[in-house]
Amino acid sequence: MSEHKNTAPAVGAAQGGNKTINNLKIPQNEGFVKDRNINLISLNLQNFRGCKHYNMAFGCKRASIYGANGAGKSTLADGYTWLLTGKDQQGRSDYEILPVGSTEGIESSVTASFSNFENKDQFTLHRVYKPVFTRKRGESEKHRTGNTTDYYINDVPYKAGDYSKFIEEHIGTEEDILTVSRVDYFAQVMKPDARRQKLLDLFANGVDDQSVISNHSELASLGELLGTYTMDDCVKRWKAQRRKVNEDKDAIPGRIDEAERAKPDIESIETDSARLPKLAAERLKIRSKIDSMRSGESAAGIRKEISRLQADAEQARADYIRKSSGDNTALESQISVLRKDLSDLQAKAAKSESSASSEATLAAELKKEIEELRQKAFAEHDKEFDAGNGKCPTCGQPYPPEMLEEMRGNFNAEKAENLTNLSTHGKELKSTYNELKKQVQFDSTAAKEAQFNADHLQQKLLGLQKMFVTPPAWETTPAYADFQKQIADAKHSLEVISSASDKQVQTLQADLTSIDSEINAIQQRKSNLELIKRQDARIEELKAQEKKLGNQLAQLDNLLYLADRFVQLKASDVEAEVNESFHSVRWKLFEMQVNGGVKACCEAQVNEKDYGSLSNAEKVNAGLDIVNTLGQKMGLILPVWIDNAESISHPMEISAQIINLYVSDQDQQLRTEIER
Ligand SMILES: Nc1ncnc2c1ncn2[C@@H]1O[C@H](COP(=O)(O)OP(=O)(O)OP(=O)(O)O)[C@@H](O)[C@H]1O
Ligand SMILES: [Mg+2]
């Protein structure tokens, strides 16, 4: 643990360095200019700052340019740089190019011809800086209001973008140009990060994680762990794992404590194991007692009786309903017979009455007729022969007396006959009348008799019909009430018996409850014991886990320590790889920190002295070494301008075309010597 605390920050620092190391890109050589060895054929400056005119054919040779202070040596280098980058040697793009006080029509221009690999590829660049003069309204003189720049490649005008693109394609990027043509640029001007990256890109491509591991036996165990991961990814993984393992390990004491606290208090349980079977047996006994009480015989008998009574009552009800409907059927047939008889009697009474009535009418008529006959007979009897005036009514002649006698005789004979006829007829009528009277009597008596009988039947029918009513509901019958009473009595008896046994059951139930609670208490104690066992097992498990996590932590700490070592060793491998190519310069790419970490940096050193503390000549020589080595590696050799070359007694030999600028008091005008 304490070991980790000491190493953890180192890993953090290492990671910073490591990140940088692992950010090493495999050099993409397509990005670098390859095999360009460019020399200056000629240089021409017109009205460029203090230089009115300079024209020199270098012919790809080294040259030395001499001049007193202020003669314009540095201006030539500036003009050259401006032609290629649009900036001066100090990287300024906004400085005044035109000669001081120049008027309208004066243009600054630089022209240079280049050759790549001894004239195989030649081109001329020409850049012209033109001031713009305009006259504002109301002013008599023109004033400079701006400037324009024209670009030419091989005398052909180009747009700025195309001109820059041409330079990039045929020479290099601005940074590459400055890197290999200015001795101070890479070590001094370029930003350390970019510088470092460039060095790593160019020189450290052979140093990958696997090669570092195989170069150092102490890192051997990392080899198999690395797999397809980078070391940086491995460190991230191990750190995450370590954090997790540490968290898990830290959590364990709390979990053990929790398990301890979860253990119940242990009570005495010595007698429990013997007591439990006894209690169980007792319980069983009470239970079966309760069961038998609940299913007691007397209660069962009464229940049976109740069931029987209920069944009987149901049967009685069914019988009652059936019987009631049977009685009605008999009544119906009786009533039907009576109705028929009644109807016959009523018909008979009506018929007799009707006969009696018509016979009575007939008798009354006969009586009247008889009376008339009697009157007729009286009238006949009283009739006298009337000879009238004795004359014939027809002829008016008086009847002869014989005739009168005859007529008398006739009259008397007719009278007698008439009287006889009347009497006979009267007797017949009387006889018929008497018959009729008898018949009337007979029929009337028959009608009355029939009516009497009919009335009697009617009464009987009504009596039967009264009987033919819906029978009273079963529930209203005494039989029903009887059954109900019997059932209620039986139920009451059952209740009496049940409540008596319920009391006994209650007592037994209470005993059962007390036994149950004792059993529960024993079981609880047993389960507590189980719980304690489980918790103890859990605690043991947690302790084992804590130990395992401790081991894991130690392993991870070891891995992280190795990762630290890896970073350090990779740093020194990378440095060695980079520095191998340089002549005098040593690049310090990593700073070992007090905590053992490695910090990325990028400082040039010569004989263990930092670049900043070198003398001017030492700086120039270091710059020459850098320009030369980088140029070779990048495949881009450009003319190198060395200002104040008089201050360097032993400049380093390099393969590029060198243009030395010497201060020379006797040369008020620039003097150029081309190497033969
Ligand atoms: N825009 C400008 N117009 C006119 N003259 C300028 C302009 N800018 C700079 N000068 C002058 O041009 C002269 C040449 O300067 P330059 O730096 O090239 O001289 P040098 O030969 O390098 O001198 P030293 O030996 O001191 O380095 C200087 O006198 C400088 O003041
Ligand atoms: Mg100068």
SS3 of 139-186: the string is CCCCEEEEEEEEEEECCEEECHHHHHHHHHHHCCCHHHHHHHHECCHH
Q: Where does residue 608 rank: exposed (0-12), middle (13-18), buried (19+ CB within 10 A)?
A: exposed
Q: Which ligand is nearest to the CA of 663?
A: 1
236-268: pLDDT as tens digits: 999 999 999 999 999 999 999 999 998 887 766
417-447: pLDDT as tens digits: 989 998 888 899 899 899 989 999 999 999 9
- 3-class DSSP assignment, residue 675: coil
**Ligand 1 binding pocket mutation candidate from 48, 73, 80, 110 (most atoms within 8 A of CB):** 73
Q: What is the whole-number distance in angstroms between the Cα of residue 71 and the centre of ligand 1?
A: 6
Question: Do 306 and 314 contact (CB within 8 A), yes or no?
Answer: no
Question: Which ligand 1 atom is the nearest neighbour of the CA of 67?
Answer: 21
Residue 232 has pLDDT above 50, yes or no: yes
Domain locations in the chain? 2-26+35-203+581-674, 322-471
Spell out which residues line ligand 1, taking CB within 6 angstroms.
49-50, 67, 69-75, 96, 99-100, 663
Instruction: List CB contacts of 211: < 8 A, sequence separation 6 or more.
Output: 573
- Give the position of tokens 């002295």: 609
Please give the pLDDT value at position 119. 56
Q: Where does residue 173 rank: exposed (0-12), middle (13-18), buried (19+ CB within 10 A)?
A: middle
Please give the pLDDT value at position 37. 93
Report which protein residue has its CA nearest ligand 1's atom 31: 70
Highest mean pLDDT among 72-76, 88-92, 304-308, 496-500 belongs to 72-76
> How large is the average pLDDT for residues 472-497?
88
Q: What is the whole-number distance in angstroms between the Cα of residue 667 and the centre of ligand 2?
A: 13
**Ligand 1 binding pocket mutation candidate from 48, 75, 659 (most atoms within 8 A of CB):** 75
Please give the pLDDT value at position 13. 32
Instruction: List CB contacts of 380: < 8 A, sequence separation 6 or more.
Output: 415, 418, 419, 422
443-462: pLDDT as tens digits: 999 999 999 999 998 888 88
**Ligand 1 binding pocket mutation candidate from 74, 641, 662, 668 (most atoms within 8 A of CB):** 74
**Ligand 1 binding pocket mutation candidate from 46, 47, 48, 49 (most atoms within 8 A of CB):** 49
Can you tell me the distance from the alpha carbon of 134 to that of 145, in angstroms, rounded to the nearest whole number?
A: 6
Paired residues of 153 in beta bridges: 125, 156
Report which protein residue has its CA nearest ligand 1's atom 11: 50
Lowest mean pLDDT among 155-169, 221-235, 264-278: 264-278
Can you tell me the distance from the alpha carbon of 393 to that of 432, in angstroms, rounded to the nearest whole number?
A: 43
Report which protein residue has its CA nearest ligand 1's atom 27: 69
Helix or strand run (H / E) with residue 65 = strand 63-67
Query: If you ran DSSP here, which 8-state letter would residue 267 be given?
Result: -
Percentage with pLDDT > 70 across the chain:
93
Question: Do 585 and 1 contact (CB within 8 A), yes or no?
Answer: no
Instruction: List CB contacts of 49: < 8 A, sequence separation 6 or more.
Output: 75, 78, 79, 96, 97, 98, 99, 108
Q: What angle do CA 159, 161, 167 make, to 5 degrees?
A: 105
Q: Which ligand is nearest to the CA of 51?
A: 1
Please give the pLDDT value at position 642. 95
Report which protein residue has its CA nearest ligand 1's atom 17: 74
375-395: pLDDT as tens digits: 988 998 888 888 777 777 788
Position with higher pLDDT, 114 vs 141: 114
Instruction: Say if domain 2-26+35-203+581-674 classifies as CATH 3.40.50.300.
Output: yes
12-36: pLDDT as tens digits: 333 333 333 333 333 333 444 568 8
Query: If you ran DSSP here, which 8-state letter would residue 391 be given?
Result: B
Structure tokens at 318: 């069914």
| Listed residues: CB within 5 A of ion ligand 2 | 73-74
Question: Which ligand 1 atom is the nearest neighbour of the CA of 100?
Answer: 3
Neighbours of 497 (CB within 10 A): 18
Report which protein residue has its CA nearest ligand 1's atom 24: 69
Helix or strand run (H / E) with residue 586 = strand 585-592
591-638: pLDDT as tens digits: 888 877 778 899 999 999 999 999 999 999 999 999 999 999 999 999
Q: What is the whole-number distance in angstroms between the Cα of residue 69 and the centre of ligand 1?
A: 8
Residue 291 has pLDDT above 70, yes or no: yes
